[in-house]
């Protein structure tokens, strides 16, 4: 829990930071954390009632209640460059489309697994499609990626999710410093985040270590 935290000051700074980022003149690298339903469902702190994935995806009222509960927990526990504290424009509740929904709609049977997200058993063959994304996913050679893409392309990436889960904080800080010193922030088009998709049971103290390191070592000169 972010105790004795000045949400108003944080939110004002974050709003200014993103405005500056959009104009190409941020004074530091923004830091965000990508959480998913998997992180929420398998987190004892965020999901104290132990709602299962099946209950979450098959009951609309449960999905709505859990989304608001997780949003409130996230806003008061995970330090990042987004609006924190009570929302100024109400809660954002929507149908949480999971990756397997389309396949399920086409008739693939849904299977639920202990400690994992649901999946489907394939009934159709599918050709691989070529996709291009600059959200790095798992950590890569950040310097080489920036050289290859140039200074005008936005890149998102950061420490491996297992490092964030296991720590210690000192190692997380060192990794953030290494990444931000690689040249990936050239052009001021880099966003620091976990690589990729926060693992369940990641201590919020480890996320704070990433955030604080991003603020310290992500400043532009």
| 7-57 residue pLDDT tens | 999 999 999 999 999 999 999 999 999 998 989 999 999 999 999 999 999
Q: Which of these, 208, 207, 187, 81, lies nearest to 134 by C-alpha position?
A: 187
Q: What is the pLDDT of residues 79-129, one digit of tens each?
A: 999 999 999 998 889 999 888 888 888 888 998 888 778 888 877 554 433
Percent of the chain with pLDDT strictly greater than 70: 95
Give 161-170 pLDDT, tens digit per residue. 999 999 999 9
User: What is each CA distance from 217 to 42, 43, 83, 87, 138, in whole angstroms?
Assistant: 32, 30, 22, 29, 21
194 within 8 A of 166, measured Cβ to Cβ: no
- pLDDT at res. 129: 39
pTM score over 0.85 = no
């Amino acid at each position: 829990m972010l105790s004795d935290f000045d949400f108003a000051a944080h939110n004002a700074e974050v709003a200014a930071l993103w405005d500056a980022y959009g104009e190409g003149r941020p004074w530091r690298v923004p830091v965000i954390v990508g959480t998913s339903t998997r992180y929420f469902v398998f987190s004892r702190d965020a999901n104290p009632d132990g709602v299962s994935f099946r209950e979450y995806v098959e009951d609309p009222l449960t999905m709505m209640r859990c989304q608001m509960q997780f949003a409130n927990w996230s806003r008061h526990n995970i330090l990042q460059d987004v609006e924190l504290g009570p929302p100024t424009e109400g809660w954002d509740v929507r149908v949480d489309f999971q990756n397997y929904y389309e396949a399920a709609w086409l008739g693939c049977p849904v299977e639920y697994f202990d400690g994992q997200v649901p999946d489907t058993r394939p009934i159709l063959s599918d050709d691989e499609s070529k996709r291009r994304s600059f959200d790095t996913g798992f950590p890569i050679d950040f310097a080489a990626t920036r050289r290859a893409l140039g200074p005008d392309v936005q890149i998102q990436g950061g420490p491996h999710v297992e490092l964030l889960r296991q720590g210690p904080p000192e190692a997380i800080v060192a990794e953030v410093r290494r990444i931000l010193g690689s040249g990936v922030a050239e052009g001021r088009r880099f966003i620091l985040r976990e690589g990729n998709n926060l693992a369940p049971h990641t201590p919020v103290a480890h996320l704070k270590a990433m955030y604080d390191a991003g603020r310290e070592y992500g400043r532009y000169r």
